[in-house]
Structure 1
Amino acid sequence: MTYKTILVHVDESKSSLTRTQFAHQIASKFDAHLTGIALTGISRYIFESTDLGVGDPNIMLHLSALRERAEKAISQFQKSSAGLGIATTECLIANDEANGGLGLRARYSDLIIIGQTNREEPSPSVMSDFPEFMVVNSGRPVIIVPYASDLDSIAENCVIAWDGSREAARAITDAIPLLKSSKLVHILIINPEQQADVHGEEPGADIALYLARHGIKVEITTRFGTHSTGNTILTACKELNADLLVMGGYGHSRFREMIMGGTTRTILEKMTLPVLMSH
């Protein structure tokens, strides 16, 4: 198992360059095809169901400005690709908002790379629930890259947030290519005594054996605490000098509102390292 098609969301945000550089490094690591996609922010359904903008210069001017933003973002992606010498890249611009446009392209990719929501820098093409939507609806593993962090290494020291759940198991399997390239993988278990029926007498032993059979070097790490699980996970990641967190994404969609579990929500809001999530 490996990643051969990687999709990265590019936009006009300040953090887009860091995100695309991260995507280039992942693509280079796996000799993968990298596709950068920029979205105009106008839902495709508007174009399909109306004659929006016909005869209205103000609307057409607005649409043109959104298109120019997308073109500028994809142009920056092209420049960074050329500078890093990535052999197989592709550039796309879609007349859609990010949830719908990227969600469609995700079907044809092994891995999706997007950015953390920065509420101080809103984008016309990205809704505030974008990371949550992609985790729950894309059907693919999603790496969310924080907007305020320097990425000095790529998946060399990984942490798995293991709670024995289906979502966590899915995330681990989806992350195996990255875990195999890691120097060490920490299996992090929070308050194992609270889930004795899941973890058994030796918490983490079974999942450690599963990963060891893939040739992955693992170490079981246990943390105890009464604070929120999300904060405990992030604190442990910092103490372990982790550069990638792998965890299940818990939640579901209710029309346009994404309803996420407390731990997932905390991680998405406070993350300081890239997080691979699967649902």
Structure 2
Amino acid sequence: MEYRTILVHVDESRRAHEQIRIAALLAQKYNAHLIGAAATGVAPQFFMPGVIGDSNLALLGSALNDLREHAESLLAEFESSAWKMDVKSFEKRLIEEDAGTGLVLQARYSDLVVIGQVNPADYSPLLRADFQEYVLMNSGRPVLIVPYAGHFPQVGKRVLLAWDGSMEATRAVSASIPLLQQADLVRVLVLDTGRPADAHGEQPGADIAIYLARHGIKLEVTEQKIPADIDVGNALLSHAADFGADLIVMGGYGHTRFREILLGGVTRTVLASMTVPVLMFH
């Protein structure tokens, strides 16, 4: 897999510049086409006659124009940043839809999606509360999530890869190979969470290490036993800090039959408390 098209969410948060900068750096590194997408937050069909009262149509139509103008101003800032960072190929897209639905659709034609972690103190009425979870669970693409706090001059030099032998972790590994190949060091953290013994093979971490080494990835393997009474998500974040990781790669675990945002505890913890960018794939 190669990153030839990178999609970045251009939102109205105070941190939008950081996720745009990181997406632009990745576009430069992989000679990829960069797409900046900003959403109005409302589908234009909502303003059609018959959906709302005719007496409110003019007023709400004006509101929609204001939303478009605001999104277009965000895209102008994205365009300026892309020019300043000398991104060779980029475009801006206006999404006349809520950001979650619109970004998921655009993700189908991208190799990597870059979004920001939702900051509870920076609430936007145009952004669904479960935005990051929704994109992760529905895009079908690897999602790189940038924390709402901190500055990350580089991403992917020291990578912590959370490995538990699951299908979700396998997808995350495959989707992150371009990043892992560029890393100075990848630490494969084998999480022993009580999965069946055959999930890891005879020697935990050995098979995944051989697989990654064949891709020319510089790595080391460490095993961490996680007792049932320990919060795995916080243990993972603590290990990342001790290792000095600038990127975490992990599977995005969830159960969609009941509710799309009903994610596994590890995923919820990392999404809420991440301190470095995290690449997830469900």
Question: Which TM-score tier does this pair reach, normalised by the shorter chain?
Answer: over 0.9
1:110 matched residue in structure 2: 111
Would you say the 8 A contact 2:46–2:52 is kept in 1?
A: yes
Report % sequence identity. 46
**Structure 1: which amino acid aligns with 2:111?**
D
Secondary structure of the corresponding residue to residue 120 of structure 1: helix
Would you say the 8 A contact 1:192–1:199 is kept in 2?
A: no
Change (3 A) 1:118 1:50: farther
Would you say the 8 A contact 1:6–1:27 is kept in 2?
A: yes
Change (3 A) 1:254 1:63: farther
1:94 matched residue in structure 2: 95
Count of aligned residue pairs for this structure pair: 279
2:250 to 247, 250, 265: 247
**Structure 2: which amino acid aligns with 1:89?**
F
Alpha-carbon deviation of 1:255? 8.0
- Is there any run of 5+ residues in structure 2 with no aligned partner, and where? none
Q: Distance in 2 between matches of 1:76 and 1:29?
A: 22
1:271 and 2:274 are equivalent in the alignment: yes
**Structure 2: which amino acid aligns with 1:41?**
G
Q: Distance in 2 between matches of 1:47 and 1:30?
A: 41
1:232 to 232, 235, 257: 235
Would you say the 8 A contact 1:164–1:199 is kept in 2?
A: yes
Would you say the 8 A contact 1:136–1:252 is kept in 2?
A: no
**Structure 1: which amino acid aligns with 2:38?**
A
Alpha-carbon deviation of 1:34? 0.1
1:130 and 2:128 are equivalent in the alignment: no
Alpha-carbon deviation of 1:256? 6.9
Would you say the 8 A contact 2:116–2:148 is kept in 1?
A: yes
Secondary structure of the corresponding residue to residue 190 of structure 1: strand
**Structure 2: which amino acid aligns with 1:175?**
S
Alpha-carbon deviation of 1:69? 2.1
The alignment yields a C-alpha RMSD, in angstroms, of 2.0
Q: How does 1:27-42 map to 2 (within 5 A)?
A: 27-42=27-42
Q: So what's the TM-score if we normalise by structure 2?
A: 0.92
Q: So what's the TM-score if we normalise by structure 1?
A: 0.93
Would you say the 8 A contact 1:11–1:74 is kept in 2?
A: no
Would you say the 8 A contact 1:251–1:259 is kept in 2?
A: yes
- Is there any run of 5+ residues in structure 1 with no aligned partner, and where? none
**Structure 1: which amino acid aligns with 2:190?**
I
Alpha-carbon deviation of 1:194? 5.7
Would you say the 8 A contact 1:129–1:257 is kept in 2?
A: no
2:80 matched residue in structure 1: 79
Q: Distance in 2 between matches of 1:256 and 1:100?
A: 16
Deviations 1:225-273, CA, capped at 9 Å, x for gaps: 4420000000011111111111110114468751101000000000011
